């Protein structure tokens, strides 16, 4: 099966897996992800201790990454900019992995998701945040193609931008990327098995495992079946009233005794794609 111009094959999966393509066009002009990753927009000094105030809408076009971080910080009441930056980065990683992995598992093809082709609304929730200008030059699906399309083209520059601008450790950010990948693979596996698509589930699992062995992700955690346990923490536990995520390296928020630990509701391991109680892709109350 090849890819159709509207990527309709993704629609039954919903949520994080859907990608607007070709038509309809975005309702208003939005920056590309290439623009969002550019390192020369906005203040590059890290702000790791001060709460981030809501920014004016004008920064949506001028500096989309900063706009997203501010929106997430406001929604979560994040006490530090690096917390919001980490959550925002993991949400975007989840969107990209979900789209690419679903195309690969369902069709055996990977679309060209070049950052210059993807328009991004940093104000919107999935699936209304990303538009692909056109579906073109799809590649046969394997781990090399997926790594090129997602890891190299998107997550490497995104990781560099978030690290440089917000002081978030690169190891933590690659842990976020691995967690988002594992979450996408797990949700795709659940969908496929519910619909009797064991072949799709098998391909998704094999691709997920292969990608987690990539040099940029190797050592970030352990995959057992579809369950993932990471070796780093995304910092979400610093959000007021939050606990640790299901795949976190910490059994409870650092500094708390077991009796004091408060776990978030409905927090499965790697809870980034659909069904997550912590959906950084959606800047809203959590």
Q: What is the pLDDT of residues 84-128, one digit of tens each?
A: 999 999 999 999 999 999 999 999 999 999 999 999 999 988 888
Token pair listed for 63: 């500096």
Half-sphere exposure of 184 (CA within 13 A, CB side): 34
The answer to whether 104 and 141 are in contact (CB under 8 A) is yes
Q: b or e along 65-100 (b: 16 or more beta carbons within 10 Å of the residue's beta carbon)? A: bbbbbbbbbbbbebbbbbbbbbbbbbbbbbbbbbbb
Query: How far apart, in whole angstroms, are the C-alpha atoms of residue 231 and residue 63?
Result: 31
pLDDT at 259 over 60: no
The answer to whether 186 and 229 are in contact (CB under 8 A) is no
**Which residue in the block uniquely carries the two structure tokens 């920014």?**
55
Pairing of strands 130-132, 227-230: unpaired
Please name the residue ranges forming H helices in the chain. Answer: 33-37, 59-62, 64-76, 81-107, 143-146, 156-166, 170-194, 198-212
The answer to whether 28 and 147 are in contact (CB under 8 A) is no
- What pLDDT, on the 0 to 100 scale, is given for residue 241? 85
Query: Residue 228 belongs to what H/E stretch?
Result: strand 227-230
Query: How far apart, in whole angstroms, are the C-alpha atoms of residue 58 and residue 73?
Result: 17
For the stretch 155-197, pLDDT in tens is 999 999 999 999 999 999 999 999 999 999 999 999 999 999 9
> Please, which pLDDT band fits residue 152 given cuts at 50, 70 and 90?
very high
- What pLDDT, on the 0 to 100 scale, is given for residue 11? 93
Query: How far apart, in whole angstroms, are the C-alpha atoms of residue 88 and residue 72?
Result: 7
The answer to whether 119 and 31 are in contact (CB under 8 A) is yes
The answer to whether 67 and 38 are in contact (CB under 8 A) is no
- What pLDDT, on the 0 to 100 scale, is given for residue 61? 81
User: How far from chain centre, in Å, is Cα 258?
Assistant: 30
Token pair listed for 152: 């190299």
Kindly list the domain boundaries of the chain, sorted by start residue. Answer: 8-40+59-260
């Amino acid at each position: 099966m090849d890819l159709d111009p509207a990527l309709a094959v993704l629609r039954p999966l919903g949520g994080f897996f859907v990608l607007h393509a070709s038509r309809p066009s975005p309702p208003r002009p939005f920056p590309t992800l290439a623009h969002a990753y550019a390192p020369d927009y906005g203040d590059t000094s890290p702000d790791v201790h001060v709460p981030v105030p809501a920014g004016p809408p004008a920064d949506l076009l001028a500096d989309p990454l900063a706009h997203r971080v501010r929106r997430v910080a406001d929604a979560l009441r994040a006490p530090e900019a690096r917390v919001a930056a980490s959550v925002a980065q993991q949400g975007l990683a989840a969107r990209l992995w979900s789209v690419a992995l679903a195309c690969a598992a369902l069709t055996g093809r990977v679309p060209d998701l070049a950052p210059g082709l993807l328009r991004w609304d940093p104000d919107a929730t999935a699936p209304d945040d990303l538009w692909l200008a056109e579906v073109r030059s799809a590649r046969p699906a394997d781990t090399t193609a997926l790594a090129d399309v997602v890891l190299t083209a998107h997550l490497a520059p995104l990781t560099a931008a978030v690290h440089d601008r917000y002081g978030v450790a690169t190891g933590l950010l690659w842990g976020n990327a691995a967690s988002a990948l594992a979450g996408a693979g797990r949700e795709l596996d659940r969908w496929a098995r519910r619909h009797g698509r064991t072949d799709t589930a098998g391909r998704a699992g094999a691709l997920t495992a292969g990608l987690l062995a990539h040099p940029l992700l190797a050592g970030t955690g352990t995959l057992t079946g579809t369950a993932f346990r990471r070796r780093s923490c995304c910092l979400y536990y610093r959000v007021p009233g939050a606990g640790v995520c299901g795949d976190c390296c910490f059994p409870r928020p650092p500094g708390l005794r077991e009796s004091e630990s408060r776990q978030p509701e409905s927090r499965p391991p790697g809870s980034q794609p659909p069904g997550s109680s912590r959906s950084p892709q959606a800047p809203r109350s959590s």
